[in-house]
Amino acid sequence: MPGGCRPINLPQSSYMSGTKRKKIVVAMSGGVDSSVTAALLKQQGYDCIGVFMRLGADPGTDEGAQCQPGKAHHQGCCSTADAADARFVAGLLDIPFYALNFQHDFSGIIDYFVREYNAGRTPNPCVRCNEYLKFGKLIAYANATGADYVATGHYARIVQDAQGHTELRRGRDLSKDQSYVLFGVRPEHLPRMMLPLGDMDKSHVRELAEAFKLPVFSKPDSQEICFVPDNDYTHLIQKRAPGAMQTGKVLDMAGQVVGEHQGHQAYTIGQRKGVGIALGYPVYVVAKNPAQNTVTLGPQAALAHQELDAREVNWLDQTPLGSEPIPCLAKIRYNTPPRPARVWLAGTDLLRVRFDEPLNAITPGQAVVCYAGDRVLGGGWIDRIVA
């Protein structure tokens, strides 16, 4: 083991049986997490295939450039430089490497992103990408190549319970836990997933990368949406949906006009910075009406709500959810801790969650994910605030 690296425990379902080497498709983005994932699985003796998903989201600034492996280029996860890093690491590890063209499929995710903003919601493309591409299309690719598993560098865990059921659980390092963005993976795909970093913290992963002599060991993490590298998503909306962003009225809680906006898409529920309107007290975006093209401002107290409905329910727990509320912990966005709540089915494909205490800025378009301890029960896409 290079550099005195500490061993890890991989999911029980991933151990090799007999003399047959298990084949694993490893999603390699060119970053440190996916690179260490590939190195660990290769070290464990698995037959690894490195795959880079070419999504067509490269802004083009790196095209034809002489890229130095591991150096910070644009901080996305699918640029030309990232592809070069992934290929270089695969070469160091002596594993086959393929760049798969998912541009057409990913274009659908970008369309979803724009469509949600135009409908007054705030989308989460990372969850959709994991659901549809990384553990959707890559599962299909694994089937086509005879691979047993698909592995990624997510900080979450796949474990088996005492009855042999496969569960998705939170990562040990709660500050890096990514189980929220994996809730949409279909239950039948869980046994095909491998997440070797789920028991680690980020500092240890970087130590492993350096010990494995991977040139990406100090490469910075991606911080933005990969197809919006400049963080200006309104520019993308204007490009993909010309004319969708129109000047409209900004209202106060009484419905009085207090200003003008250049497009409701530029505002998110709970936003305070950049509102640009003074009402004599701190104001937040508390509501949007895309049909009337209005944005409503109000005090922080107006953001507090306790109950929501979610659709496109994906329930991962072995115990089916019914009409009787069950206790859980639930979170309404990636970077907030889960809060005590109750969850039940309020209708066909309609998940209702009621929190014990009001939460600020419940946002339609985001996901609500329910937990029992560190076990992911399931979740859905927030459709509306009930109360």
Pairing of strands 193-194, 149-151: parallel
Map tokens 């809730």 to a residue: 183
> Of residues 48, 129, 328, 370, which has the active-site annotation?
129
The 10s digit of each residue's pLDDT in 233-248 is 999 999 999 999 999 9
Residue 73: which region, alpha, beta or left (left: phi > 0; alpha: psi -120 to 50)? Answer: beta
In whole numbers, what is the pLDDT of the chain averaged over residues?
89
pLDDT, residue 79, reads: 72
Q: Which two tokens stand for residue 11?
A: 């999911």
In angstroms, the CA 30 to CA 2 distance is 21
pLDDT, residue 77, reads: 54
For residue 119, count CB atoms less than 10 angstroms from its CB and return exposed for 0-12, middle for 13-18, buried for 19 or more.
middle
Q: Which amino acid is at 158?
A: I
Taking CA atoms, 216 is separated from 208, 211, 249, in Å, by 11, 11, 48
In angstroms, the CA 48 to CA 51 distance is 10
pLDDT, residue 146, reads: 95
pLDDT of 74 over the 80 cut: no
129 annotated active-site: yes
DSSP state of 31: S
> Of residues 77, 78, 126, 226, which has the active-site annotation?
226
Q: How many CB atoms lie within 10 A of CB 53?
A: 25
Q: Which two tokens stand for residue 276?
A: 């640009």
The 10s digit of each residue's pLDDT in 57-72 is 544 433 333 344 445 4
The 10s digit of each residue's pLDDT in 6-36 is 333 443 334 444 456 899 999 999 999 999 9
Domains of the chain and any CATH numbers = 21-211 (3.40.50.620), 246-298 (2.30.30.280), 304-385 (2.40.30.10)
pLDDT, residue 164, reads: 87
pLDDT, residue 220, reads: 85
* pLDDT bracket for residue 305 (50, 70, 90): very high
Q: Which amino acid is at 63?
A: E
370 annotated active-site: no
